[in-house]
Amino acid sequence: MRRARAGGSLSRGAMALLVMCCVLKLATGAPSQTIPANGEASETDDNDQGAGHMAGKAYNKPHLNVIEKPETHPKTEINPTTTTTTTTTTPAPVAPNEISVTIKKVQVEVVYESHCPFSRRFIYGQLWPTFKKMHDFMELTVLPFGKAKVDNVSAEHPHITCQHGSNECTGNMMETCVLHVAQETITAVKILACMSSNSQPHLAGPKCVEGTSVKWTEVQKCVDEHGTQYIVEVAKQTWSLQSYVARVPLIIMDGMKDNYVEYYAQKDFFRLVCEHVPYEEYDQTPCSSSLGRRRRRRR
């Protein structure tokens, strides 16, 4: 009987100790560890219904607020100093020597009369179509004087006589002033061609300058103020090329004035100009695409 009591007392003491441990564990809120079936520990999210829940109330993991010690930076004393900035200019790189290619242009001088039918036909039928294509390869001088005469060239107001009358003298002055007023030779030649296509060139000017940079009022002002002076200058240039002009138009190509030039200038001036283009520059001109092989000049 005594042994049974002693054993019973020991059992009650062990039970009491076990109850105290459970109460202590519940009081501290320590979660119990769940061992999964595979024997590995698993991590649960804060929202999972794990061992941290008691009596249906969510268990929140404790958060530690870490108070960091503010960093201290040593004070730096800045002493005012004078800074001198030196700007060094780097010279631009020198480009390698470039080869400048100069195209030798065909020199063309045309002496004509504004009312001469042959001159007019050459201006609008041969000169303008050719110059429109080849103006980059031609150096053109146009002299609207022809076989006119000037009495007393040194006089302040010399008397000028034209082959086709006073209207031709007026037309010569107008076309000379077009050459002075127009800033580009190609514009001037275009206007001269338009005037030459009219049977009364001295009346066609105002219509022919439309659509160009030339204003006819400026041309007329040039005629009124400098017409005679400019015609005398054109006369001197004409006489320097040929002292006596027997036929017009007179065309001179690179200083050459012969029957061949005179004939083919009025038949196919474009081909004639192409014949005078230097061989090494021929392929750069419209001649190669229009004519193909260079035409051999007949003697």
Q: Please report, to the nearest 10 degrees, the dihedral formed by the alpha carbons of residues 243, 247, 253, 258 taken in order.
A: -90
pLDDT tens digits, 226-275: 999 999 999 999 999 999 999 999 999 999 999 999 999 999 999 999 99
State the pLDDT confidence band at 82, using cuts at 50, 70 and 90.
very low
Write the CB contacts of 226 (distance below 8 Å, at least 6 apart in sequence).
Answer: 177, 180
Predicted local distance difference test score (pLDDT) of residue 289:
87
The packing angle between helices 185-196 and 166-181, to 10°, is: 160
Rounded to two decimals, what is the model's pTM?
0.65
Residue pair 112/123 in contact (Cβ under 8 Å)? The answer is yes
106-296 sits in which CATH class?
A: alpha beta
Structure tokens at 126: 């041969």
**CA angle in degrees (0–180, nearest 5) for 128-131-137:** 175
CB atoms within 10 A of CB 274: 23
Q: Using one digit for the tens of pLDDT, what is the confidence trace for 18-68?
A: 666 665 555 555 454 444 444 444 444 444 444 334 444 443 444 444 444
Mean pLDDT of the chain: 78
Sheet holding 250-253, edge to edge: 138-144, 106-112, 250-253
Instruction: Determine the Cα–Cα distance for residues 8 and 78; give it in Å rounded to an integer.
Output: 87
Do strands 159-161 and 149-151 pair parallel, antiparallel, or not at all (unpaired)? antiparallel
Taking each helix axis from N to C end, the angle separating 201-208 and 166-181, rounded to the nearest 10 degrees, works out to 30
Domain range annotation of the chain: 106-296
